[in-house]
Amino acid sequence: MIESNPYFAVSSSTSSFQPYGYGSGFQPPLFPVVRLRGLPFNCTDIDIIKFFAGLDIVDVLLVNKNGRFTGEAFVVFAGSMQADFALQRDRQNMGRRYVEVFRCKKQDYYNAVAAEVNYEGIYDNDFQGSPPPSQSKRFLDKDRLEYTEILKLRGLPFSVKKSQIVEFFGEFELADDRIHIACRPDGKATGEAFVEFDSAEDAKKAMCKDKMTIGSRYVELFPSTPDEARRAESRSRQ
C-alpha cells in the first residue's frame, strides 16, 4: 500500500486504485466544459477566444470529421463558474451566424480528444519527434489546469507494458504499482493509463512528456484525479 499519498493509493493485493479523502456525500464540481454548435466553417481557435472575451479559457478543440471542420467545438474553462458565464453567450453571433452554447459531459470532450488522436494516428508510421500539425487547429494551455498526483495517458499502443511507461517517465523512478493500464471488461486495453507520482508538482513536471512517443504512437497527457482513475478501474472489472 502506498501510504505517502493521503488521497490516492494502490492496493498491493489487487493493484486497484482507491480514492481517499472523499465522503459519501461529496459532490465534485462539474467539469468546466461547454460545447458549441453552428460555428462558421472558417472559424479558428482565436475566433472562439474572442467570442468568450473576458473568460479564462484552458482548451479549445475544433471538431473535425475526416479532416473537415464540422462547425462544432469544445471549450474548457479554468473553473465551473467560468463555464456558467460561458452559457450566457448562447445564441450570440459570430460573424453572420448565431452560435449555440450548451453544457456537455467531460466524457464527450475526452471522446473528441480521442477521435483527434486516432485521426492523427494515420501519420504514425512516418512520424518522428513532434506530432503532425493538428487537423483541429487546437489551442490548449495545460499549464493552467489544476493538478493532482495523477496523470492520465491517452493514445497508448494497445500492447503497451508497464515497463514501457516506467521507461517513458524514467527520471521520476516510478514503481509498477503506481501505474494502471485501463482495460475494457473483456480485458482488452483501451489505450489509456493512469500514473501516480509522488506529488502534484512532479505530475506537472512530467507533462514535459506530453505528445512524446511510446513505440510508434505519440501519447497525450492530461491532469486527472483519484476519482477518475477509480472509475476507470471499476469499469475494467465490470
pLDDT tens-place string over residues 83-118 = 999 999 999 999 889 999 999 998 899 888 877 765
**pLDDT at residue number 236:** 63
| Grid coordinates belonging to 90 | 448562447
Q: Are 140 and 58 in contact (CB under 8 A)?
A: yes
**pLDDT at residue number 190:** 81
Q: Are 7 and 19 in contact (CB under 8 A)?
A: yes
pTM over 0.95: no
- Determine the average pLDDT of the residues in 128-155: 65
The whole-angstrom distance between residue 59's C-alpha and the CA centroid of its chain comes to 10
Which residue ranges make up each domain of the chain?
8-20+145-236, 33-140
DSSP state letters, 113-180: HHHHHHHHGGGGGG--SSPPPPTT--EE-GGGS---SEEEEES--TT--HHHHHHHTGGG---GGGEE
Q: What is the mean pLDDT of the chain?
A: 78
Q: Which of 76-80, 112-116, 124-128 has the lowest mean pLDDT?
A: 124-128
pLDDT at 164 over 70: yes
**pLDDT at residue number 2:** 38
Confidence grade of residue 205 (pLDDT, cut at 50, 70, 90): very high
Tell me the CATH class for 8-20+145-236.
alpha beta
CATH of domain 33-140: 3.30.70.330
Confidence grade of residue 224 (pLDDT, cut at 50, 70, 90): confident
- Determine the average pLDDT of the residues in 179-186: 85
pLDDT at 71 over 90: yes
% pLDDT > 70, the chain: 74
Integer Cα distance of 146 and 116 in angstroms: 23
pLDDT tens digit string along 27-54? 567 889 999 999 998 888 888 988 999 8
